[in-house]
């Protein structure tokens, strides 16, 4: 599997189509995206479970990536699962154009329509409702056997380097709860322990989820994995 990713490490020049951005957080691959992708791809049970759900060429499993940035993590999962998953890459509105460019750049690596891009600012009711409406409709069209109450939700939610700013913890938890199915959705969050912010998120998340943490890569203890399941 080979993916191409466009990155930017400085603000765009005045007059460019991306002028007006205040930061570059969504324009580069953050440190735990690659190790989290490698960890998930090595998990043969995880990959085979997704591949085994494909029915009549329609993807049944839904994967949501939060704060996707360049989209490496979600695109990698889409490419590895051979069209068995519908992968929705999300980020704030300033970043979705850049994210879509990366999806277009790699369109030959995954099945047509298996990767889509949506704006999502965590906790934004308009964004969350739009995603629920769009993917509830698609699920009804493709998977009549699914439980009607869970069609707008996701089987897997993934994200890398999302926990560094404690001011985002509450809206992130709200978003996770909105899209997760109790006793079904699995959430994989990779993060480097930069400060106590990440530890605080894990403590806060434990109020709503069953949470387990462990080194993301056992050969490198610097990055961590938080595995969460809603009760």
Q: Report how far residue 71's alpha carbon sits from residue 37's, in angstroms, rounded to the nearest whole number.
A: 11
For residue 143, pLDDT over 70 is answered with: no
Which secondary-structure segment (H or E) carries 208? none
- In percent, how much of the chain has pLDDT > 70? 78
For residue 17, pLDDT over 60 is answered with: no
Contacts of 207 by beta carbon, 8 Å cutoff, 6+ apart: none
For residue 205, pLDDT over 50 is answered with: yes
Averaged pLDDT, 67-92? 93
């Amino acid at each position: 599997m080979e993916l191409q990713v466009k990155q930017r490490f400085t603000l765009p020049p005045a007059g460019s189509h991306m002028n007006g951005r205040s930061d570059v957080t969504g324009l580069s691959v953050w440190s735990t995206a690659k190790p989290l992708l490698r960890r998930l791809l090595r998990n043969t049970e995880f990959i085979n479970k997704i591949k085994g759900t494909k029915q009549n060429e329609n993807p049944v499993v839904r994967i949501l990536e939060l704060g996707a940035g360049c989209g490496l993590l979600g695109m990698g999962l889409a490419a590895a699962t051979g069209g068995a998953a519908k992968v929705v890459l999300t980020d704030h509105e300033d970043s979705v154009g850049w994210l879509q460019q990366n999806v277009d750049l790699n369109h030959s690596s995954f099945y047509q329509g298996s990767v889509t891009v949506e704006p999502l600012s965590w906790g934004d009711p308009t964004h969350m409702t739009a995603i629920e409406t769009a993917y509830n409709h698609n699920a009804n069209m493709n998977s009549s056997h699914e439980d009607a109450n869970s069609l707008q939700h996701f089987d897997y939610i993934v994200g890398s380097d999302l926990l560094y700013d404690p001011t985002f913890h509450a809206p992130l938890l709200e978003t996770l709860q909105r899209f997760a199915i109790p006793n079904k959705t699995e959430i994989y969050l990779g993060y480097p322990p930069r400060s106590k912010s990440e530890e605080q998120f894990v403590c806060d998340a434990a109020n709503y989820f069953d949470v387990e943490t462990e080194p993301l890569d056992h050969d490198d203890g610097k990055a961590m994995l938080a595995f969460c399941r809603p009760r």
